[in-house]
Amino acid sequence: MRDPEARRIAIGLGLALIACLGLGVGPWAPTVGAHEGQPYPVLEGAEVGPYRIDLWSDPDFGEGEFWMIVADAADPAALEVRLDAAPEAEPQHRLEALAAWQPTKDRPDAARYVALLPLDRDGWWTVDLSVAGPSGAGSARTRVEVRSLGPSRREALAYLLPFGFLALLVAAHQLRRGRRARSGEAAASA
């Protein structure tokens, strides 16, 4: 490559590519597993058998956390609260967890239970909640969405496309400018 202008452009584009690779930007970047945001209510005031339940979820990719609040639980230690979840795309991939009772001071009229599930796939999951205790048993079903943190590969490509287009425009402009300069030098020397 004898043209100094073309060489400078090629070096600049190469350095930009190396910087993008080094920063992990682009569709080749590794995905980070996590859900963005705070826990949110999935069920509120749901009648599950003789119990009234609130279910909150923080469906982090990798480890999802669920909180069940059972209102008017006379003996929280006597209740068995179970949580099952399966991705809607693969219902045979079912995960189960027995929720642990956590004493709480902020709601003395309710019992709080916590369950952790290894949510290992993106997408919508069906969550089944069952409660059994001295007053009877009941169950409920709901859905949560599990997403990886950050944009998908397709979204990252869509975000970077305008910058790639801009880089091509700058390179084309620089090449045209170099050609004009060379043709001007050739005309002046003739």
Which distant-in-sequence residues (6+ apart) come within 8 Å of 147 by Cβ? 35, 36, 61, 122
Residues 6+ apart with CB under 8 A from 46: 52, 53, 54, 55, 140
- Span 7-41, pLDDT tens digits: 777 777 766 666 555 555 554 444 333 445 678 88
Q: Is the pLDDT of residue 77 over 80?
A: no
Q: Which tokens go with 8?
A: 């400078």
Q: What is the pLDDT of residue 189?
A: 66
Domain boundary assignment for the chain = 1-12+25-31+150-182, 40-146
Q: What is the mean pLDDT of the chain?
A: 77
Write down the H helix ranges in the chain: 4-23, 153-189
The architecture in CATH of the region 40-146 reads: Sandwich (2.60)
